[in-house]
Amino acid sequence: MQQLIKDMKAIPGVIGACTYRSKDGITYNNLPSLFREDRLHQTAKHLAKIHASGRLNFPELIETLVHYDESIVVFRQIDLDEHLITICDPGINMSLLSMSLNLAIENIPHKKAPTETQIKAQGTDKAAPDIQKLMNKGPMAQPLQAMLKLLTKIIGPMAKIIFEDSVARWVESSENNRGSLSKLLEIICQEIGDNEKSEEYRALVRQKMTSKNRKQKDS
């Protein structure tokens, strides 16, 4: 893998690359120091989920691209739990990059593209049915939907993925009741990975909770 990211960085227009595993986080990295590893880990985690979801609907999907004004992020799954993230200049020759990436991955020993069955198995979240039930029915549905709505306001379309991941962790680590919503809030703020946005979200949720408690007391 170290040779792979070295080969990627040698391509004109590539800023650097890193590899990611869900269990180990960032494993190899030659990106400039301004790309903090904790932020890379959060970004890779979310990209892995987006890519897995995409492949459930489009099994032939090879890579996921995210375009920014200053860079392009290319996410490629190269094994069941091995992912490559390449960050490039906006003007990079994408045909050259894709061809070079394909050749480099072919030269990695014992690496096979995941089959459709493996993709579906990997994309299946055992806790998902319980999470959906929790969010749509029962006493926790209303506060959870409100928290998701506020998160969407702060971070946009990535909110649903981050929120469901956070709820899954919350379900595993504590009792699922209103008294433990503060734990869920802290988990979500960790997942956001941006101090300013985390504080903004925390303030909105606390304001919402305080307002609701006052209304309940008044009634």
Domains of the chain: total: 2
The structure tokens listed for 141 are 């549905």
Same domain, 162 and 200: yes
Instruction: Indicate whether 172 pLDDT > 70.
Output: yes
pLDDT tens digits, 108-126: 765 555 555 554 554 444 4
| Cβ neighbourhood burial of 160 (10 Å; 0-12, 13-18, 19+) | exposed
Higher pLDDT, residue 76 or 127: 76
User: Is residue 111 domain-shared with residue 157, that is, in the same domain?
Assistant: no
What is the structure's pLDDT at 104?
81
| Residues 117, 143 share a domain | no
Task: Report residue 75: phi and psi, to 5°.
Answer: -110, 125
| Same domain for 93 and 26 | yes
Average pLDDT over residues 179-198: 88
Which is more confidently placed, 178 or 9? 9
Query: 53 or 153: whose pLDDT is higher?
Result: 153
Nearest-angstrom CA–CA distance, 168 and 128: 8
Find out whether 200 and 192 touch, Cβ atoms under 8 Å: no
Task: Judge whether residue 147 has pLDDT over 90.
Answer: yes
The predicted model gives 165-183 an average pLDDT of 83
CA angle 176, 177, 181 (to 5 degrees): 90
